[in-house]
Amino acid sequence: MLVGANLLRRLLRSQLSADDGGTGFIITAIHHLRPHYSTTTEVSDEGNSEKKKESKWFTLPPFAKTVNASELGAKLARKNHLKSATSAETSAYETTALKWVLKCCPELPRNLVQKLFRLRQVRRESIAVEVTDDGCQVQKIQLKRVGAKDSLNIGDKIFLPISVREVPEEKHGHDCADEESNFIRSLELYKDTAIIVLNKPPGMPVQGGIGIKWSLDELAAAWLRFDYSESPRLVHRLDRDCSGILVMGRTQMSAAILHSVFREETLGASKHDSDNEKRVLQKRYWALVIGSPRRPKGTISAPLRKVVVDNGKSDRITVFEHNNTILSSQRAITEYRVIKTSTHGNIIVTLVSKSNFGIAYALMLSDLNAGFTWLELSPLTGRKHQLRVHCAEVLGTPIVGDYKYGWQAHRRLQNLAESDLRKNSNEKVAKENMLPFGLNMDSGSISEKHLRLHLHCREMILPNVSQVLRKPKSFTDDDLSKLRSLEIVAPLPSYMQKSWDILNS
């Protein structure tokens, strides 16, 4: 390796002034100085030549091959439209910087990690080789800013501010009594290494917000982590007053895979490309409705749109039909079938054929002498208030207790003699049995004046994600036929069971 001219002159001068006059000093000097002109490593930040102290950055493990949750979810949903088979193998291990940080640091709140990216405080290691004036090659490790959506290459290292190590473990602020924590754990219907399935009680919101003291996702994070460092993550939603099956992923990976499955099923149904194949995700709700559909079973395909009412104070979802394509409307598809019809009380139902928003819509009027009907509803898409709007505005049979979309039918129910139902019930009205968090699942049946929403997610079939995650890299399309599905059933809440017993008496 060549030695710089200036350095060589200094070595020669030292050699001439040496007592022994031999050449051994030159060789020894060159040997000791070799690191100067062989490759060395310096760490510098982007735009700053100063060396960074190790204490300034917290280094994550180098990026290694990991499963692409979206790709695997699409495979589970048997949707191959995302990418071709040739690109699937290479993309199966792609991930973004944000996902890698969340995977390596599950204890960090997601909003904190996103904030770090927004403030451009996340770095990625970049190696550059420079040649000095002396002709020496110096290898420098530069830390360049990386975006949340930037893809990583195998071996990439991510650096976070060292301050993240001082972030205390996320506190959920719920000092529950033993009775309350036991109640949350009693909601568990199924648990494995990938998911937890709960029987959500009516009246408890799924997510927090303004004016909400308790939410199921926060309570699950506090009491359903068990031996996991990560908190359970929501996979889908249920309305506050709706009850039944709620699926949560126990890890970021399992939640992301199920998110992809739910998304792919919705997209597939919207494009009508799932008619000829068995759906790996099936959701079945039970609902008690006022009246009865004209047909015992069928498929509803009607777009939904959110409109603002009360001078912007509130909003609601409504069926929207227009000759032109409206970007703000979303296609919503629901399959339904009649479980049981009861003419109990010979209730007369009258519905309007025009909504309050001036949008004419031809309703399928219910059988006026039908009374109540139990329906099984299978949403193929996952739009907000989809089942409630389809029942009220398309079938003309609003769900019992749905005052938002069926207030006119409920106003006529007030004329029904309360004793007419009570005399057909063999059980006395029990005192309110209050549960933790102010919940009550006993009151609200059709034997009482104030009705609660009779909508319950009763059954769900979904792929066994835990089985897939045991060997995700060896999972192929051929294994789909061998994959065991999970079939979960949630019992009705007390007030819906009471309504069932009354109508069958």
Write out the catalytic residue numbers. 239
Helices (H), 77-127: 85-91, 97-104, 110-118
Q: Can you list the pairs that 20-23 forms with residues at least 24 positions away whose Cβ atoms lie under 8 Å? A: none
Helices (H), 57-176: 69-76, 85-91, 97-104, 110-118
398 dihedral zone (left: phi>0; alpha: psi -120 to 50; beta): beta
User: Helix or strand or coil: residue 490?
Assistant: coil
- The answer to whether 198 touches 236, Cβ cutoff 8 Å, is no
Q: Do the strands 282-290 and 314-319 form a parallel or antiparallel pair, or are they unpaired?
A: unpaired
In DSSP terms, 200 is beta-bridged to: 244
Instruction: Residue count of the chain, please give it.
Output: 505
- The answer to whether 233 touches 248, Cβ cutoff 8 Å, is yes
SS3 content of the chain, % helix, strand, coil (to 5): 30, 25, 45
Single-letter residue type at 138:
V
368: Cβ contacts below 8 Å, ≥ 6 apart: 291, 348, 349, 350
Angle, helices 252-270/69-76, rounded to nearest 10 degrees? 50
